[in-house]
Amino acid sequence: KLSERLQGVMESLRGRGRLTDENISDTLRQVRMALLEADVALPVVKTFVESIRTKVVGQEIDKSLTPGQTLIRIINDELIALMGAGVRPLNLRAQPPVVILLAGLQGAGKTTSAAKLAKWLKDHERKRVLLASTDVYRPAAILQLERLATQLGIGFYPSDPSKPALTLAREALQEARRSLYEVLIVDTAGRLHVDAEMMAEIRAISAEVMPTETLFVVDSMAGQDAVNAARAFGEALSLTGVVLTKTDGDARGGAALSVRQITGQPILFMGTGEKTDALEPFHAERVVSRMLGMGDVLSLVESVSRNVDREQAEKLARKLKKGKGFDLEDLHEQLLQVQKMGGLSALMDKLPAQFAGKAAAAPQANDKEVRRQVAVIRSMTPGERRYPKTIDASRKRRIAAGSGVPVSEVNRLLKSHMQMQKMMKMMGKGGGLGKMMRAFG
Ligand code: GDP
Ligand code: MG
């Protein structure tokens, strides 16, 4: 598995005092092997390894990091760049109905993703969505989409499988216009392998419905097949983005690294399970930190746990495991622990680069602010600490007055708490939690 291989490489780098030409070459060779074994396309691997080499050579060693950490940071940043930093939302600004066309091999997850996207648009964007299938070769596929649509309470265009796919696409678009749907998602047929007929059909459908988004749906476990399909679909259609499915599987995981480069388009979403709510906007930063492992975070946790009440740490771990949120009460405890240890600055260099960068920008980075934040939280009622969402403008004013800070300080605290909550959630999901508990134990 790619993440395991990369974690092995990271492990060998950790704590390394000096980088020599020899151990840089050795590390790059290991990274290259790990990527190739995970079925990342060869040209992608080559470019990737070369760009790391160039960066390492031209790198000024950051004084707060060891050379090993510097190399980890470069690899981290390059992996993020490879998959695309930041999040690209769906483009919904076109004249409605906005058409989203899904393309990909059979079994990639198009039909499932069509339903997931529809639900996502309904829940997050409050859009009226119409789902339509053009998969006339497998009537079961139309039924599959209909079931999902019904279950989710989303509009469904009943395709007649005796008509040609192109006709169905045209009719679905007419129906979307007539019934004032805001988004039309068109599911298509897929073949097990790329073939000319299938490409011609989907091109015709695309020309008919003029999609705003043409998303290539790809199974993250598909390896070299995924690479070939990405190339073929990329040549046949003007793709605008990628949906990476089955990221919950025990995949070799190479597809994630290749598709962006090969299609030239960003990964917009990833499927994380079979259920219709198992869809997340794609964050390369998160995926990479999972790939490279949370080792540095663990060593941070370890040094914290030496200085704090073990019971509290376990309580937090249990809570995270149960999927309960990291609330302000927990943040309060953490801040006290940080104070006990002589301040956050002592911990900063233990954080992995991507977190250290964020932490430095976060308000708690300054030890004086830690004290102020503790004061702010203490001015809250227990209910407010549990349910920060209930803190409205007048409560904020009261809390600010109570702790002697401006309201903006309260806002900043709430915002950074929300970010931490997200990070905790992600650690809980990414398997980091089990490791965290072992680190405590
Ligand atoms: P299509 O042929 O491209 O339309 O693929 P389907 O949508 O029918 O999906 C094929 C199989 O993959 C189905 O059994 C889905 O339940 C499963 N599947 C799709 N997306 C995911 C995912 O993100 N995670 C998991 N675990 N399974 C998925
Ligand atoms: Mg299908």
Give residues (CB < 6 A) around ligand 1. Answer: 104, 106-112, 190, 245-246, 248-249, 271-274, 278
DSSP SS3 for 250: coil
Ligand number nearest to the C-alpha of 251 = 1
Output the known binding site for GTP.
104-111, 187-191, 245-248
**pLDDT for the residue numbered 315:** 65
**pLDDT for the residue numbered 177:** 97
Is residue 318 within 8 Å of residue 424, measured between CB atoms?
no
Which candidate, 212, 130, 131, places its Cα nearest to that of 179? 130
For the domain bounded by 2-83, which CATH number is listed? 1.20.120.140
In the block, which residue shows the tokens 């009460």? 329
Same fold, 2-83 and 294-440: no
- How far, in Å, from the CA of 135 to the mean position of ligand 1? 15
**pLDDT for the residue numbered 370:** 77
Buried b (16+ CB within 10 A) or exposed e, 34-58: bbeebbbbeebbeebbeebeebbee
Question: Domain ranges in the chain?
Answer: 2-83, 98-283, 294-440
- How far, in Å, from the CA of 134 to the mean position of ligand 2? 9
d(CA 407, CA 413): 10
**pLDDT for the residue numbered 441:** 28
Regions of the chain with pLDDT less than 50: 294-308, 346, 348-364, 430-441
What's the pTM?
0.67
Query: Which fold, 98-283?
Result: Rossmann fold (3.40.50)
- How far, in Å, from the CA of 40 to the mean position of ligand 2? 26
Q: Encode pLDDT of 318-338 as tens digits.
A: 666 555 667 787 777 777 766
d(CA 415, CA 418): 5
Which candidate, 134, 155, 136, places its Cα nearest to that of 211? 134
**pLDDT for the residue numbered 351:** 47
Query: Which fold, 294-440?
Result: 434 Repressor (Amino-terminal Domain) (1.10.260)
Q: How far is CA 435 from CA 215, 299, 327, 347, 430, in A?
A: 36, 11, 21, 19, 10
In ligand 1, which atom is closest to the CA atom of 245?
Answer: 23
